[in-house]
Structure 1
Amino acid sequence: MPPSRKLTPSYLLHRQSGRGRVVWTDHTGARQQKLLPGPFGSPESLAAKARLELELVAPSSAAVTARNGVTVAEVLVAYLVHADRYYRDPDGKPGSEVVSLKRSIKPVRELYADLSAVEFGPKALAVVRQSMVRAGLCRSLINKRIDRVKRVFKWAASEELVPVTTYEALRTLAGLRRGRTEAKESEPVQPIDDETVRATLPHLPHYIRVMVELLWHTGMRPSEVVAMTLDRIDRSVAPWVYRPAHHKTAHRGKARAIPLGPNARAVLTAFLVDRSLTPDAPLFSPKRARDERFEQLRLGRKTKVQPSQVSRKKTNPKRKPSERYTAHAITQAVAIATEKAGVSHWHPYQLRHTFGTKARKLFGLEHAGAALGHTKMSATEVYAQRDSALAVEVAAKIG
């Protein structure tokens, strides 16, 4: 994708016609110009100039100009430029939605890149969907990716790159229904039992073990635990409260407060012993973890350090440890640890389901929803499974 350029249109006189013209450089570096109505300097010409300048700096103008015969590939590129600007976290970094979007539109590009966007209809979208089925994707994921493709054409219609009828036609393609498609079903995420978690913990690196324990005791998301900093934890109240700077529903104006109970506080307190951290620094840093590990190895060394081994750091290493862990790093570490522990594989997000199920069993659905940070009980139903023991109790008494 070509880098976006700052558009600097110039208002010039067209000597042959005496009309005004605007000259600019587009996002590809090509020189563009347009003649304006009315004589040079007239109110009509200046109004058209102002309108064109606004169109040029609009988010879509740097990607592609609306015209007849725009191809599917051009629409996809235009939307990617828009998405790269729109789906960013408060730090200005691209969000995960951009990655998901690229995966969703890949089969569209491979199958229909050169097709006129106006001709891309429900049957073509159905072919794209069938390619996803053949690729072995599950039904729910296919429906999500097809919805993203529809979103691309909805945006294209709003930018007048395609007629609204093109998007409305795509909407008529219904999603795949359970039991009525050859696409496989995804396995529901289940809570993980405590014994499996305890068996896994000793095989995790220290920093990741602490994060996993916090996930276990709080039900927070992996993306929230990797972003923890001291200045976001209120330790003046009981229990402590962690308020993530960025979270899943922050863009909707929702606040997120995660209470840290006795178990979570004990884990965090033990981790902070003998560690001096700046308030806004990540609590869990791969770089700091590596430095601490090297220091422990050096202290435990029994032989004298040779002069050539005092510092073996590369001047410009290709891979440098980052300042903050990613959720994917926790997933990888857990996968390796479960294999070492000889237990069944589990995913860190299952700890959120475990926490929600425990909360529901002890306090009810509403308490579980509050603990997980949900505003709708329908979301809590996904994370907090019903306790089958309750059904057995009912059957024993009135069945």
Structure 2
Amino acid sequence: MSKQPIPQLRYHTPTKQHYVWWNKKRVHLGADPAQAELRYKRIVAELASDRDPFDGHRTAAGAPAAPPAARTVSEVLLAHYRHLKAEGRDRSALHRAWQAAAAVLARHPALPAAQFRGPQLKQVRADLLARPELSRTYINYLTRCVQRAWAWAASEDLVPPEAAEALRAVEMLRRGRGGREPARVVPPPAGWDGVLSELSRVTSAMVQVQALGGMRPQDVCRMRRGDVSTGPHEPVLFPGTARPVTAFPAGGVLVWLYVPREHKTAHLEKPRAVALGPRAQQLLRPLLAGLGPDDYVFSPARSLAEHGRGNRFKRQGYATCYATRQYAQLVGRAIDRVNAARVAAGVPVEDHVPWWSPLQLRHLAATVVGDEIDREHARALLGHSSQDVIERYMEQQLGKAGRAAAECG
């Protein structure tokens, strides 16, 4: 018999969920009393057989154990979510994994994981298709989240390999085969920069640097001093390699380089360096002064201190770096304040600041460079490249990106 105490089945009134306490954490077992009772009995049975019911594939003593045949879908999804969290995945990735798990649990909460195959996954996808706020591409992403969860579970011997293979055989939705098509992201409308006067010096520079460099919001939010090369004698390494890159002359001016430590295509081993021209350098130079290598360039604490409002962001991460959602909220609220002031002054509606989001600034940079130079230079500035070898990237792409930054950024 396990030395671990048997947890009691409890009921959480605010969430209407049954749960047990385990390792000082509340583990939910579902809202349905019958299903919660079944899961609770399975937990007690695994404790009686000297297994840790929440570890997935190891006994309480730490030795490998054969997976229980009756392991449910919810247990596999919970184990996979904890695996992602232990890996240090970012909050958005965890949110999408949880959203995919919730869609599965809404239809098959107590189904044995080994019996969750292609037809069951298609039923879950049909439920997602019934939600008009989800696009076809996002539904495909959630479907792949479930497939990856079962592939991981098979590698951990939590489900039979054929279960993961059956889910992998489900094809993604193609255009015209169901689901709402995602809206195309376009550059912000004319007059978008009317909001800059309402932003603080830090956030105003943040918006302009993103637009000039053609960066994604997460790239500009996570910019650190040590990731920016401001001269030929200040090398910055591509993440995961020993290959340095430095600022270089292009078009008669020195172009700075920013190499993000993390970016969207890092898992594909694609290099990414952002070329920063004279206008972006003028905005960044006062912000870089006095920073250490690991300090964030655009700090919410500095922005609030300039307004004499202290630091309201006490949670971990908020005091040193803007979150992308927080960045978008700052822009949206500033637009609302500007337009409210114009309404009070009797300014016509057509002269109000149009609504836009930081996601559109990257497309603005592509449009400007494409119009003033050509589409090839716009592609190089944004980092869109079919080459995944660093040497070719440095020789071909950075040269074009440097010219684009020298003339347009």
TM-score (norm 1): 0.67
Where do 1:162-201 residues align within 5 Å?
162-181=159-178, 183-193=179-189, 195-201=190-196
For 2:114 and 2:198, the matched residues in 1 are separated by 56
1:371 to 375, 381, 404: 381
- What is aligned with 1:257? 273
Q: Do 2:296 and 2:320's aligned partners in 1 also have CA atoms closer than 8 Å?
A: yes
**Secondary structure at 2:145's aligned position in 1?**
helix
Q: CA deviation at 1:99?
A: 1.8
1:354 to 355, 364, 367: 364
- What is aligned with 1:285? 299
- What is aligned with 1:235? 230
1:148-187 deviations in Å (ceiling 9; x for gaps): 1111112222223222222232234333333332x32221
Q: CA deviation at 1:95?
A: 5.0
**Secondary structure at 1:155's aligned position in 2?**
helix
- What is aligned with 2:69? 68
Where do 1:184-333 residues align within 5 Å?
184-193=180-189, 195-236=190-231, 237=247, 238-269=254-285, 271=287, 276-294=290-308, 322-333=319-330
Alignment of 1:113 onto 2:109: yes
**Which amino acid in structure 1 is aligned with residue 227 of structure 2?**
R
Alignment of 1:125 onto 2:121: yes
Q: CA deviation at 1:28?
A: 5.3
**Which amino acid in structure 2 is aligned with residue 76 of structure 1?**
L
Unaligned runs of 5+ in 1: 6-22, 35-51, 57-64, 89-93, 296-311, 378-399
Q: Do 1:218 and 1:260's aligned partners in 2 also have CA atoms closer than 8 Å?
A: yes
Q: CA deviation at 1:27?
A: 7.1
Tell me the percent identity: 32
Q: CA deviation at 1:232?
A: 2.2
- What is aligned with 2:236? none
Q: Do 1:226 and 1:325's aligned partners in 2 also have CA atoms closer than 8 Å?
A: yes
For 1:76 and 1:85, the matched residues in 2 are separated by 14
> Compared with structure 1, are the counterparts of its residues 211 and 157 closer, same or farther at alpha carbon in structure 2 (3 Å cutoff)?
same
> Compared with structure 1, are the counterparts of its residues 266 and 102 closer, same or farther at alpha carbon in structure 2 (3 Å cutoff)?
same
Cα RMSD for the two superposed structures:
3.5
**Secondary structure at 1:294's aligned position in 2?**
coil
- What is aligned with 1:81? 82
Where do 1:20-31 residues align within 5 Å?
26=52
TM-score (norm 2): 0.66
- What is aligned with 1:300? none
Q: Do 2:150 and 2:163's aligned partners in 1 also have CA atoms closer than 8 Å?
A: yes
For 1:313 and 1:217, the matched residues in 2 are separated by 29
Q: CA deviation at 1:97?
A: 1.6
For 2:279 and 2:78, the matched residues in 1 are separated by 49
For 2:272 and 2:314, the matched residues in 1 are separated by 38
> Compared with structure 1, are the counterparts of its residues 151 and 282 closer, same or farther at alpha carbon in structure 2 (3 Å cutoff)?
same
- What is aligned with 2:144? 147
Q: Do 2:287 and 2:297's aligned partners in 1 also have CA atoms closer than 8 Å?
A: no
Q: Do 1:73 and 1:109's aligned partners in 2 also have CA atoms closer than 8 Å?
A: yes
**Which amino acid in structure 2 is aligned with residue 147 of structure 1?**
R
> Compared with structure 1, are the counterparts of its residues 187 and 350 closer, same or farther at alpha carbon in structure 2 (3 Å cutoff)?
same
**Secondary structure at 1:240's aligned position in 2?**
strand
**Which amino acid in structure 1 is aligned with residue 102 of structure 2?**
K
1:115-134 deviations in Å (ceiling 9; x for gaps): 11122122222221122122
For 2:316 and 2:164, the matched residues in 1 are separated by 44
> Compared with structure 1, are the counterparts of its residues 28 and 70 closer, same or farther at alpha carbon in structure 2 (3 Å cutoff)?
closer
Unaligned runs of 5+ in 2: 1-20, 26-48, 232-246, 248-253, 340-351, 388-409
Q: CA deviation at 1:25?
A: 7.6
Choose 1 or 2 for highest CA Rg: 1
**Secondary structure at 2:257's aligned position in 1?**
strand
For 2:219 and 2:177, the matched residues in 1 are separated by 38
